[in-house]
Structure 1
């Protein structure tokens, strides 16, 4: 079953799904079982995912998905995918059938003969899916789905997962909507955040530490934000890392108070345990992030943040943060 850390990641990623328009945008979470095939070896585990879907036409849509492929012997794998879908129709109520496929980027914690006993492997594959959905008048929908991952230099997997989702824009006005214009981003282009949370190393033992960060965000357009961050990941025994990141974000205002976003950029950090006994030298990693924010007032906002640090020296980590921010 998923751990508490994985559930936190699902919440953050659920908030991170976004598009260029909230009209008819869909967000869904999935849970089910997965079977792995690697030569003559077979293994079963769980799978869960979070998907954002945006219609292109009545019969085509595009999606972004995060998949966690569970734990099998010597492998803990997850990844992100982008898919193009054919749909039987754009029903307001009733069934919709669909098939989709697209590229899949995976992150796999694998057994290794080094001193740490593991390595973080990154690679590419193809994600193919088929789904049957039922839409309700309220905007909610239920889904049953099959995923097939064909991965290069890694194992293949097949998952059967069930999900529950919501179609944004199905109501004329959100229940928590504020008066028109109250949350116009032009009234507060800048945002400063202070965050506290937890670092979890992507190893077989999930070593963790207390983390903290400070962020400055600048709203550039309706759907584009830039940020700079100082992050201290704490001492997680396998890594003791701190540094600065610059990211570009795509974000979306799903309701008057609730917004979501996903960002990416370089993370220049010093890891005290990477070069023990030597003068500290910075490493450049990729920081992939997701956030969900709720505005209590036009100025004060709270946000959940998930960072994935993708390193080149097998010290990948997830950082889960809860922040309080002020817009000005």
Structure 2
């Protein structure tokens, strides 16, 4: 079934034509006596006409049957080979087109075959009917069998896709439940405790106030992002309002840079305003890469590191992002999945991410086509 399906795909017309040419040459050379140059020309013309079945199988079948009628009328030796080509076109038509065209094509071919055998009527009526049924009925029966198989395969693919969607939805639901019941619960407790600490602690150093305010804002934002993630996992077809819009990407990157500065980093940023025209998927990827990159600098290079962030849009539409630091501070050996996650995110978009040490620190560069 699989090779028949592939053989009659629209893009396989050249392969199908070569197979028919091989069979046609064998038929005319070894099984048809009295074949001359005009028979070869007519047969090759019929084969070329069969190639048009890719674009118009019904029209090609009508022309083929007309050519077959003319060949039989003038006594061409290539008539049997042309009948085979007409049967192949009828088979192709029955697979790819609706019932009315198939009925009309089968009736036309059956009529031409009947006229060709008119001299044998009525003495050999059973033989004539049998040959007509073979020429017309066999292609229709084979096409019906193939179509049933293809329809069954389509239904099975649809059922498989539905089962896969259900399994993915069940996984997402389970993950969202754990995030809501476990992680979000602890984060809510953190936000509440920091808020209480701001009000119950006695007079303190302004730097402590600034630290508590920053901690409260960061934990509140993290809790909001967690709830957004739970919403996305629960309803994958609905886009949450908090996902960054492309036009707001420069402002979102500025907020990320300010957050890094609040953690003690000396960050200089060069962000191309043209990235406001990015699509949502690439815009979100750029934002997440910047967030994770600056978080890694704080963790591995120390809060006093000097960092440079460059985001630009090339003429070919590709987004180029470069984040480097001077490596100040005591580096730590990474044990998390941040870099792995960034590589996966970039790879899903068909891009490239390079990260590694330099002479003066660490550099990460990404290209999103």
Query: TM-score band, normalised by the shorter chain?
Result: under 0.3
Q: Which of 1 and 2 has higher RCO (CA within 8 Å, sep 6+)?
A: 1
TM-score normalized by the length of structure 1: 0.22
Decide which structure has greater strand share: 1
TM-score normalized by the length of structure 2: 0.20
Decide which structure has greater helix share: 2
Task: Please tell me whether Structure 1 or Structure 2 has the larger radius of gyration of its CA atoms.
Answer: 2
